[in-house]
Structure 1
């Protein structure tokens, strides 16, 4: 299939020139109007834009996916077209060049679009195609991040985060019967801007997902002990800026999942940590590191909750692939490492240890 990249320019994004209200007499030249309310950036603006774009596609025979509202499909005989949109950037793929060309002409009637051809750079992601498959990386983004941080000449780090790293929001940390003061950062925006840029990088770098889970917990009030781990992540990225994801051309369409949990890992709330990764054709397509919403009373309970989150993600992926008409070999294999969890899943007997789950 050929993939095409396009950029939309809607009438809402054009510059608007206001006329002088009727009845107003000009007493001086170059008078201006006092703005009472913003014309752009309203709460309903994004909803109105999505509604307008959806109507333009549905009028052309497209169906909006029930599992991802930014995903549209059109099938007619052997012709197949898929489209995904992010704000005003869209990707179009399909097996019918004539239908794709007709779609572009249809969109150009409703919006002002710019056809960028085969995508090589989309939303900060570098796309490279070869006979092996498609490679996704953010190398340019990483190099700009390292340069802006002033760490171009630093020594790279072998790991993104120290093992058993426990960051807290406490002002005083008792270590070896001594008290160390950990005051808040004078400029919190520096830490917030740095972590926000690193979070965007996790789209193609699952290796820093756990580190960003830790650092993102302190965006509201970062302290001096939090900035050093963030710098360590950048030093790690400096040593491997070109790492990314490779989507091979030929492989079996099977899905496998791995899930795990860390019981009571949060030192502030004692909540457990859920981590999972899901592979299609042996390639990562979904991953997450997230703190659980409730406190687990045992490691088996924490593992069971991690399995639940992983199962929900697998269900969503299977339904999304079903919209694409992709038949996945089943059942999906999920790997975990807790015998008690396996016993509960195999024989869910009601007793005191599981009735609260």
Structure 2
């Protein structure tokens, strides 16, 4: 049995929606995480017959619960033993807090500030998201803390990666760990998403040419540690998509 875990992109989306709707973001920690031993209580994977649940679980996010009220709605997002509650119905949010405190041993952490490496700072213009502590850890993991190279872009323009040149890396673990860490950093550095997406295609058999490209991203992160991703309160909930397809120039999936 696995604990419910919301994808961090969903956490980021909830923060953005809260900014636009001017809703609060409350954080809780549940102290009864079950790690070892035998479970004596009955556990239900589904609600038993005759038991109703006023909340509705999202069909797309199993760890997100939505309660619609006559005043508005309340959203509860679960990440193992951490919880975020937001919405525009403060009365219902208060009632949910009381009910959860009766059922579980919980710790109220106040407004959302730090959530699994994601730091949230509040300003009159919106919310600022950063991963300063985690990004610094990645730089040390890449053994580039004392690197004097500087760059203003995460990768060179029109860089091409090939899978047929160079010998495969003798130790692929370093490449795997670095790619995995950088994927998480995309939360607050979305402009590195493209190059990480391309480099991720070589995780099965990484080569030195791909490792060089990935290592060029860390100096960029190091030079932009003092920056944050702003979710402006003047933004809208409109969804926009962009595409710049270059099938003829694709050296990987041709």
Both proteins in one fold, TM over 0.5: yes
3-state SS in 2 of match to 1:257: coil
Alignment of 1:80 with 2:56, yes or no, is: no
What residue in structure 1 maps to residue 26 of structure 2? Answer: 4
The CA distance in 2 between the partners of 1:252 and 1:168, in whole Å, is 40
Q: After the TM superposition, which of the residue ranges 184-193 and 257-266 deviates more from structure 2?
A: 257-266
What residue in structure 1 maps to residue 188 of structure 2? Answer: 204
Q: Is the 8 A contact 2:132 2:225 kept in 1?
A: yes
TM-score by length of 2: 0.77
What residue in structure 2 maps to residue 237 of structure 1? Answer: 221
How many Å apart are 1:59 and its aligned residue?
A: 5.3
How many Å apart are 1:10 and its aligned residue?
A: 4.1
Q: Is the 8 A contact 2:24 2:86 kept in 1?
A: yes
How many Å apart are 1:63 and its aligned residue?
A: 1.7
Superposition map of 1:1-357 within 5 A: 1-10=23-32, 12-13=34-35, 15-16=36-37, 51=45, 61-154=54-147, 155-170=149-164, 173=165, 182-270=166-254
Q: Is the 8 A contact 1:71 1:83 kept in 2?
A: yes
Give the structure, 1 or 2, with the largest relative contact order (CA under 8 Å, sep 6 or more): 2
Tell me the matched-pair count: 226
Deviations 1:205-229 (A, max 9, x none): 1110111012111112212222211
3-state SS in 2 of match to 1:259: coil
The CA distance in 1 between the partners of 2:38 and 2:77, in whole Å, is 32
Greater strand proportion: 1
Deviations 1:154-208 (A, max 9, x none): 22222212223222222xx4xxxxxxxx222221111111111001111221110
Q: Is the 8 A contact 2:175 2:206 kept in 1?
A: yes
Q: Is the 8 A contact 1:81 1:92 kept in 2?
A: yes
**Rg bigger for which structure?**
1
CA separation of 1:207/1:61 partners in 2, compared to 1, >3 Å: closer, same or farther?
same
User: Pairwise CA RMSD of aligned residues?
Assistant: 2.7
3-state SS in 2 of match to 1:187: coil
Q: Is the 8 A contact 2:119 2:131 kept in 1?
A: yes
CA separation of 1:267/1:253 partners in 2, compared to 1, >3 Å: closer, same or farther?
closer
TM-score by length of 1: 0.57
- Which ranges in structure 1 are unaligned for 5 or more consecutive residues? 19-47, 174-181, 271-357
The CA distance in 2 between the partners of 1:59 and 1:137, in whole Å, is 40
How many Å apart are 1:94 and its aligned residue?
A: 2.4
Deviations 1:52-85 (A, max 9, x none): 7x89xx9562222234333222132215311122
Q: Is the 8 A contact 1:138 1:204 kept in 2?
A: yes
Q: Is the 8 A contact 1:138 1:242 kept in 2?
A: no
How many Å apart are 1:123 and its aligned residue?
A: 2.1
What residue in structure 2 maps to residue 29 of structure 1? Answer: none
